[in-house]
Amino acid sequence: MSDAVIQDPIGLDVTEEVAAQLRVDSVRSSASAGSGHPSSSMSAADLLAVLVTRHLRYDWDEPAATGNDHLIFSKGHASPLLYSVYKAVGVIFDEELMTGYRRFGHRLQGHPTPVLPWVDVATGSLGQGLPDGVGVALAAKRLENAPYRVWVLCGDSELTEGSIWEALDKASTYGLTNLITMVDVNRLGQRGATELGWDMDAYAARVEAFGARAIVVDGHDLAAIDEAMTAATATDLDRPVVILARTVKGKGFTTIEDSPEWHGKPLPADLAEQAIAELGGERHLQVRGPQAPNVTGPDLAPSAVQLPTYDQGAKVATRKAYGDGLVALGRADPRVVALDAEVSNSTHADQFAHELPDRFFEMYIAEQQMVAAATGLSVRGYTAFASTFAAFLTRAHDFVRMAPISGADLRLVGSHAGVEIGADGPSQMALEDLAMIAATHGSTVLYPSDATSTVALVQAMADTPGVVYMRTTRGAYPVLYGPDETFPVGGSKMLRSTDDDTVTLVGAGVTLHEALRAADTLADEGINARVIDTYSIKPIDTATLVAAVNATGGRIVVAEDHHREGGLGAATTTALVGAGITGLHLEHLAVDGIPGSGTSTELLAWAGIDADHIATAARRLNQH
């Protein structure tokens, strides 16, 4: 066992040894953990051996170097293979592979996450790594003008995820010739055979129909793989390349080769021993493949943002203000980019598209790919704002769920919130979006009521890590705040307040305006209502809510244009209970039915969340 590092250029004879080592280590690591997917790792070992020894341009000592290629395991369950690669290049040691894999408190998790510096995005939910890779490739080709390539390893089973085809479609449209997809076609999924088995022609036809060039290879013929990867990285490509590798699950250990019985099963000790013997025994080679070119990233220094201002009282839709704020941000900060899903004239992302077209990416009707691209762009340090109708963001929920695990910063904007949208009806109305985002790890949920707060919060979004969501409204409502007001995340605005308030009214977005009208009506009846604009739903301004509730005898009405669960009412209730408030008299107005079409006014009344209903609830509470 030589300690010498074998350097580039590496011959295929060494590659063959590396491939065997990757197989051996996949068996060893999963066997020692008693958990993992060795057979899924063994089928792709030749692909990775050739890639890492002869094509992946990567400085393993400088994972953040701009010139580095990117490697994403869309088939994240092949983590034994990925970690074995890390050992082969010397960035992790054999001991960690054998004692840390899938163990509590260790970084070699069951599916890769960016706790490891060589991992861009967390995978494990299939059909995500490739769309994420589209985002990274977009950054290289359209923003950084950098020469790095994005290599994505997919399984064949995951090609039934529609998101894969959203990805290839965008790769074609955007000419992402720097994106190389490698499909490990081992014909076996978790439960049994895939639909297409080893019908390589069928896969090739699909891939080519979606605008890529298919290169079909024997996934265990190193020379053929090597040739395919050379072709895939030619400088005169006109289309992205998809390498379709015909492979055998469990390749290298005949006992399990091509067997449907071994998915996700580590080899028991005796079989592991046999496998290692058949593979020629343990190896501890260290290799370093091609170096990454020395590339400086673009200069992305921001300047001061000049937010637009609005005249108090003027009617401006918050979705319009989003458009304004995004442009202002984009003018000042070259890292800001925007994406939309074919509704930018509705979300007002089109303003950015018109003013800064080089930094706008139309994703067409493909919300999963849009959110994944935002994730990939954030990997490259861009501040990506992704917008669509809030209702349609639910299409990308699994991508939103994975973002915190990836440590990604996602700026999501959902327009056309609630029944307020009117005539289009329920399919277009977001009534569960707050719940979706609030339940996402570490998220921030913002719901501004006017244009001034919207542009301030758009700026705040850019500086807030993690998944950050802003909900915007279709209709135009009066500007409430002057340009010098500040809107810290986690704060709120108290719009009405006296020393004799007997009830607190809490709203956000359209219901904040309804609450103000209700307060006016109540004032005429001699009832003083405190009105709080909870523009920050998560984190929520517990202190202000507590003070208000204490000042108003525990009487509080919360109204939201959202279903009853998981939104503003839930957040308010949880905050007050958590703060130890006793004697709470809370009325929660939310959308309980299924709306139809109608005008905003009709629907807000029907839903019981308009000024009349808020006032009625307040009067009811005042009887206590």
CB nearer to a second copy: give 281 or 583: 583
Enter the tokens of residue 216: 């079909």
444-446 and 536-538 strand pairing? antiparallel
Burial (CB count within 10 angstroms: exposed 0-12, middle 13-18, buried 19+), residue 4: exposed
CB nearer to a second copy: give 57 or 103: 103
CB 487 within 8 A of CB 535: yes
CB nearer to a second copy: give 53 or 600: 600
Check 166, 367, 560, 587 and give the catalytic one.
367
CB nearer to a second copy: give 336 or 429: 429
CB 373 within 8 A of CB 363: yes
Strand partners, 243: 182, 215
Shortest Cβ distance from residue 361 to a second copy (Å)?
Answer: 13
Is it true that the peptide bond before 290 is cis, omega within 30 degrees of 0? no
Shortest Cβ distance from residue 30 to a second copy (Å)?
Answer: 10
Distances (CA, A) of 36 to 33, 69, 79, 174: 7, 27, 8, 36
CB nearer to a second copy: give 112 or 448: 112
DSSP string, 479-543: --S-TT----TT--EEEE--TT--EEEEE-THHHHHHHHHHHHHHHTT--EEEEE--EEES--HH
Ranges assigned E (strand) in 336-405: 336-340, 360-362, 383-389
CA distance 308 to 335: 19
CB nearer to a second copy: give 55 or 588: 588
The residues, ordered by sequence, that sit 6+ positions from 59 with a Cβ below 8 Å of its Cβ are 65, 67, 68, 291, 292
Shortest Cβ distance from residue 406 to a second copy (Å)?
Answer: 10
Specify the 3-state DSSP secondary structure of 32.
helix
CB atoms within 10 A of CB 589: 25
CB nearer to a second copy: give 25 or 144: 25
CA distance 54 to 65: 19
Tell me which residue of 57, 72, 68 sits closest to 233, measured CA to CA: 57
H or E segment at 81?
A: helix 79-88
Shortest Cβ distance from residue 463 to a second copy (Å)?
Answer: 21
Shortest Cβ distance from residue 415 to a second copy (Å)?
Answer: 13
CA distance 409 to 414: 16
Q: What share of the chain is helix, strand, coil (3-state, %, to 5)?
A: 40, 15, 45
Shortest Cβ distance from residue 126 to a second copy (Å)?
Answer: 6
Burial (CB count within 10 angstroms: exposed 0-12, middle 13-18, buried 19+), residue 213: middle
- Greatest Cα-to-Cα distance within the chain, rounded to the nearest angstrom: 89
Shortest Cβ distance from residue 606 to a second copy (Å)?
Answer: 7
CA 271 to chain centroid, in Å, comes to: 39
CA distance 392 to 414: 8
CB nearer to a second copy: give 83 or 310: 83
CB nearer to a second copy: give 250 or 569: 569
CB nearer to a second copy: give 437 or 462: 437
Distances (CA, A) of 124 to 106, 107, 406: 17, 15, 11
Enter the tokens of residue 171: 């790769």
Give the gyration radius of the chain's Cα atoms. 28
Shortest Cβ distance from residue 375 to a second copy (Å)?
Answer: 14
Residue 367 designated active-site:
yes
Shortest Cβ distance from residue 201 to a second copy (Å)?
Answer: 10
Q: Number of helices (H) and strands (E), helices first, in the chain?
A: 23, 21
Burial (CB count within 10 angstroms: exposed 0-12, middle 13-18, buried 19+), residue 586: buried
CA distance 594 to 613: 18
CB nearer to a second copy: give 245 or 429: 429
Shortest Cβ distance from residue 172 to a second copy (Å)?
Answer: 8
Is it true that the peptide bond before 9 is cis, omega within 30 degrees of 0? yes
CB atoms within 10 A of CB 125: 18
CB nearer to a second copy: give 516 or 545: 545
Shortest Cβ distance from residue 394 to a second copy (Å)?
Answer: 4
CA distance 475 to 422: 9
Shortest Cβ distance from residue 214 to a second copy (Å)?
Answer: 11
- Known catalytic residues? 367
